[in-house]
Amino acid sequence: MRKARKDTEVIYLPGNHDEFLRSFGEHEFGNIKLVDTIIHSSSNGNRYLIMHGDQFDAVIKNMKWLAHVGSWAYDMIIMFNVFVNKARNLFRLPYWSLSAWAKYKIKQAVNFISDYEENLSSYAASKGVQGIICGHIHHANIREINGITYMNCGDWCESCTALVEHFDGRWEILRYANNSSN
């Protein structure tokens, strides 16, 4: 809100957790633009399609009840994670994400991730852009898939990652745990 007041153009893309905002459709509040997808032109000359990504999650689309159970279990793991890391902190061990570990240990989750990455990349290809920027699956990544640059910012509640664009058009994933003693 402060950035928007100070003349920064803020673009907000709702996802499955703030889906109610989608009912507003495309909307503009002051300097904040509400959209479902948008194309970003990078200083490296490429165009990137940006979307949250839940549009390509079959569980969210077809089995809402399972998504709700998963969402509850996820919140529980995140809460438990706080205690685990308080304990680790006592023993001066570095921050460690329980939920990221739990997800990564499940082989099916890995298949799910690669399917998701491929589906979004082929969607981007169908839109004639050079890359896709998304989130949703909480797994930060930058990789090339059939000539499309797939980029996922990860999340700020579990793995603490962010995606940044440098002025020369380079993209990078920042990892909070690598840059702090927490």
CB atoms within 10 A of CB 139: 22
Check: CB of residue 166 under 8 Å from CB of residue 160.
no
Specify the stretch interacting with Mn ion by CB under 5 A; choose among 8-16, 73-81, 91-99, 101-109: 8-16
- Closer residue to Mn ion, CB minimum distance, 136 or 139: 136
15 binds Mn ion (CB under 5 A): yes
- Residues in 81-110 that interact with Mn ion by CB under 5 A: none
Tell me the closest approach of the beta carbon of residue 33 to Mn ion, in angstroms: 20
Give the Cα separation of 162 and 133 in Å (integer): 12
Interacting residue with Mn ion among 10, 14, 16, 85 (CB under 5 A)? 16
CB atoms within 10 A of CB 147: 9
Tell me the closest approach of the beta carbon of residue 134 to Mn ion, in angstroms: 9
DSSP conformation letters of 89-138: HHTTPPP--HHHHHHHH-HHHHHHHHHHHHHHHHHHHHTT-SEEEE-SSS
Give the Cα separation of 132 and 56 in Å (integer): 13
Tell me the closest approach of the beta carbon of residue 137 to Mn ion, in angstroms: 8
Check: CB of residue 75 under 8 Å from CB of residue 69.
no
- Residue at 104: amino acid letter: Y
- Closer residue to Mn ion, CB minimum distance, 52 or 149: 52
Interacting residue with Mn ion among 54, 117, 155, 158 (CB under 5 A)? 54
Phi, psi of 138 (to 5 degrees): 60, 30
Specify the stretch interacting with Mn ion by CB under 5 A; choose among 30-38, 131-139, 146-154, 160-168: 131-139
Q: Which residue of the chain is nearest Mn ion when measured via CB? A: 136
Specify the stretch interacting with Mn ion by CB under 5 A; choose among 9-17, 28-36, 66-74, 163-171: 9-17
136 binds Mn ion (CB under 5 A): yes
Binding residues for Mn ion, rule: CB under 5 A, are: 15-16, 54, 136
